[in-house]
Structure 1
């Protein structure tokens, strides 16, 4: 293979994606059936933006139109409206698409057949193959879809409204638990150089993994990070401080448009970073350096917990993490509140017991 070229397996069905054999090794991508091209200088190959452009063109050139009065038609109408309005963040669209892709085998089902028992059956089937979180999220997306259709006269009812979420099993570990200080230090010390910067952005700023990996170089200006959270679109302004500056210097120069780059100097994909993180985590767990249950998402909960323990209010935590509501800030920092409240309650309880102690009177001789 010619030095300088990057050979990767093409995961996109119906697309020709290749890199030139000679410098400057430009990428080229086109839809096989229609010949429509993607400008790879605008949409970097294998990035989230590239994925979304591939999907947009695929939808545009579908050979079979969705049948009127079916779930497929409702999804198509929703895509054409909500996905192009600019109201939804690209991350949210991608999450919705995972659910719509899961529903593809039943797109031909008439809307009139959908009722609450059928939604529950769909939920339970998704639970068996994709676990609880996806099953609950699927119900929320289907409810949103039918609510949208009801408002516009496409359906008369929302069969997913009021469907209860699957409850977490008793004794199940908390999802995305906060990291301990020792765990953060141990993982940071074991991180290879090309993984250190995205991990530092997650650990010190509580950025979503996808947001940290996709953060463009242009977001760094005037001594701060000026960006938006991908999921909510909320603006986030974060000053640069020493640990982050040190990680940026350690990362070294690269040609990627993103601040973080993999070992080949290319933008990270979420799957790529996640795979490397899983290997590192498994190794550290085997050595007993960290406890099971660490997730990258848990670093957002860690930042929120520490801020709350410092006495920061929910509005401040909301601004730092880019939450859309203060309620989410409360959710992410609830462990700190629980610890603070229970510690205070137990201390008060101990004091009350001490007050109730009766003095021992010695018997007269």
Structure 2
């Protein structure tokens, strides 16, 4: 039996009953072949052993050493903090399964079958997590191959087990109304923010008050660190005006005025319960992001205009060009234009002018 601990990630404990009847706990770091015994909790050597293990690099020649080097690489350090956290979780699975293998064995043709079987076994519980684990393994092996540390990346040809097309999963106004009837104000505010900004749940949980700048919301996606700016619709402006005063630095808070759990447990539970009461099935919280994109494209927003508000890649912005572009500056200017065109006092005239300009450009291109 393991239990939570405030010690470094990867440390866990197992209870053991002594001959005297006393129950003690023994600590371990890691899982599988690379697991390290730390000794009895509270013993003089426990923290000394832990510090020694954390400082020590895994033995060279094993896959565990490759994992250790990848975690400490410049490339890994450039990943967004949230991505690093998720990658570490998946690399723990890689360590448990392949950490004890020799590097040569990891590059051998026969290892492909083992990776497939590992993926298939995990897919019985969660296909998406199985695919993610293999994806992270592949990313690590690609890094290793570029460094000349391994001859072949045997995870590169392993496909996904999970496939999902959520294009048709769009929240209707009726779905929203049903949800709001069974939601307290804090959940309703959260849901309107989701569908009017297109931000992911994790971004909304962390959204600071300073993100609201006049007619736009300016923030950065936690998933990939991409800057986004979103024009504030009249509906969203009404909700912002409804928000109760709070000492919290977050825009969205629980009914007691305190921030939601950063991991999303509280908001997920509240959302799930409200959906059950409203008899909403087949729609997820994340589908609100897709609904935002669908509605904005239906309003006439271009793919690039929409991408600058959602954090998706902008077509044609690659290589040297992307390195010279200040995405935040461009995103804010884009959001201000969209607000004026779609929501501002002269929005009708601005929209007509914009449509005329587009039609003229299309005609010239066609000619």
Query: Partners in 2 of 1:63 and 1:74 — Cα distance?
Result: 16
Cα distance change of structure 1 residues 59 and 173 upon mapping to structure 2, 3 Å threshold: farther
Does residue 296 in structure 1 map to residue 285 in structure 2? Answer: yes
Q: Which residue of structure 1 aligns with residue 119 of structure 2?
A: 123
Of the candidates 223, 230, 234, which is equivalent to residue 238 of structure 1? Answer: 230
1:252-290, Cα deviation, whole Å (9 max, x unpaired): 1122222111233222121221122112212222xxxx3
Does residue 156 in structure 1 map to residue 151 in structure 2? Answer: yes
Gaps of 5+ in 2: 9-26, 28-49, 317-367
1:332-365, Cα deviation, whole Å (9 max, x unpaired): xxxxxxxxxxxxxxxxxxxxxxxxxxxxxxxxxx
Does residue 97 in structure 1 map to residue 88 in structure 2? Answer: yes
RMSD: 2.9
The answer to whether the 8 Å contact 1:262/1:268 transfers is yes
The alignment's TM-score, normalised by the length of structure 2, stands at 0.65
Does residue 248 in structure 1 map to residue 240 in structure 2? Answer: yes
How far has the Cα of 1:76 moved from its partner?
1.7
Matches within 5 A, 1:1-365: 11-14=4-7, 62=54, 65-82=57-74, 85=77, 87-106=78-97, 107-114=99-106, 115-129=111-125, 131-166=126-161, 168=163, 174=166, 177-269=169-261, 270-285=264-279, 290=280, 292-326=281-315
Aligned residues, how many?
Answer: 267
1:16-63, Cα deviation, whole Å (9 max, x unpaired): xxxxxxxxxxxxxxxxx9xxxxxxxxxxxxxxxxxxxxxxxx999737
1:178-235, Cα deviation, whole Å (9 max, x unpaired): 2222112222343212223322221111101100111111212233211111222221
How far has the Cα of 1:83 moved from its partner?
6.6
The answer to whether the 8 Å contact 1:176/1:298 transfers is no
The answer to whether the 8 Å contact 1:143/1:160 transfers is yes
Cα distance change of structure 1 residues 181 and 252 upon mapping to structure 2, 3 Å threshold: same
Query: Partners in 1 of 2:52 and 2:245 — Cα distance?
Result: 39
Query: Partners in 2 of 1:249 and 1:61 — Cα distance?
Result: 53
The answer to whether the 8 Å contact 2:61/2:102 transfers is yes
Structure 2 residue matching 1:236: 3-state secondary structure:
strand
1:85-140, Cα deviation, whole Å (9 max, x unpaired): 3x3222222221231233342333333333211211121121122x2111112221
Structure 2 residue matching 1:103: 3-state secondary structure:
helix
Query: Partners in 2 of 1:213 and 1:75 — Cα distance?
Result: 31
Query: Partners in 2 of 1:265 and 1:248 — Cα distance?
Result: 15
Query: Partners in 1 of 2:217 and 2:145 — Cα distance?
Result: 41
Query: Partners in 1 of 2:55 and 2:178 — Cα distance?
Result: 53
Query: Partners in 1 of 2:303 and 2:52 — Cα distance?
Result: 43
The alignment's TM-score, normalised by the length of structure 1, stands at 0.66
Cα distance change of structure 1 residues 83 and 60 upon mapping to structure 2, 3 Å threshold: farther
Structure 1 residue matching 2:218: 3-state secondary structure:
strand
Query: Partners in 1 of 2:141 and 2:193 — Cα distance?
Result: 38
